[in-house]
Amino acid sequence: MKVKAWLLPILLTLFVAILVASFYAASWFGEQYVLRAEPFDPFDPFYGEYVLLQYPDLNVQSRSFEGPVYFTLKEGPDGFAVIDRIEDEPFFGAIRGAAFGRQITAPQLEQFYVEQGRGPELEQAVDLQVTIDVAPWGFIRPVSLDVREE
Amino acid sequence: MDLERKLVQWRKEGLIDQTAVERIMSFEKGQPQKRKIPLLLLIGLIFFALAAFSFIAANWQAIPELLKVALFVLLMWIFYVLAYFSEKKHFGQPVIFRLLSLAMFGATILVTAQTFHFNLSNSVLPWAIFIAALAHYFVWRHMAYAVTAFIFGLNTLVTLVPFTGWIEWSIFVGISLAWFYFSKDDTPKVFSWMLLFFSGLLMWDLVTYNSPFWPIWTLFVLILLLFIVPVDARRFLSPLYLIFGAFMLIVYLAVRGETDMSLVDLNWPESIALAVTGLAVLALTYLKFRSIMWISILGAMGLLLFDDTAIALAIVAELSALAYLIIAQRKNQSLAPGFIYFIIVQFVIYVIYAWERLDMSLFFLIGALLLFALSGVGWWLNRKKEGAAT
- The three state secondary structure string of B164-230 is CCHHHHHHHHHHHHHHHHHCCCHHHHHHHHHHHHHHHHCHHHHCCCCCCCHHHHHHHHHHHHHHHCC
Distance from CA of A75 to the nearest CA of B (A): 22
Q: Which residues of chain B have pLDDT under 50?
A: 390
Q: Is B173 exposed, middle or buried (0-12, 13-18, 19+ CB in 10 A)?
A: middle
Q: What is the pLDDT of residue B172?
A: 93
Q: What is the pLDDT of residue B244?
A: 93
State whether A19 and B124 contact (CB < 8 Å). Answer: yes
Q: What is the pLDDT of residue A150?
A: 67
Are A22 and A141 spatial neighbours (Cβ–Cβ below 8 Å)? no
Alpha-carbon span B219 to B26, nearest angstrom = 66
Alpha-carbon span A25 to A18, nearest angstrom = 10
Task: List the domain boundaries for chain A.
Answer: 2-147
Are B80 and B101 spatial neighbours (Cβ–Cβ below 8 Å)? yes
Q: What is the pLDDT of residue B74?
A: 94
Are B215 and B250 spatial neighbours (Cβ–Cβ below 8 Å)? no
Q: What is the pLDDT of residue A44?
A: 46
Residues 84-123 of A with CB under 8 A from B: 107-108, 110-113, 115-116
Task: Tell whether the torsion through CA atoms of B117, B122, B127 and B130 is positive or negative.
Answer: positive
DSSP letter, residue B292 = G
Minimum-distance CB partner of B77 among A9, A15, A19: A9
- ipTM of model: 0.72
How far is the CA of B47 from the CAs of B37, B40, B41, B75, B232, in angstroms? 15, 10, 10, 18, 53
Alpha-carbon span B47 to B288, nearest angstrom = 64
The pTM of the whole model exceeds 0.90: no
Backbone angles phi, psi at A31, to 5 degrees: -110, 155
Q: What is the pLDDT of residue A124?
A: 76
Residues of A in contact with B80 (CB under 8 A): 5-6, 8-9
Sheet holding A103-105, edge to edge: A81-87, A67-75, A95-100, A103-105
Nearest residue of B to residue A97, measured between CA atoms: B163
pLDDT of A43 higher than 60: no
Distance from CA of A112 to the nearest CA of B (A): 5
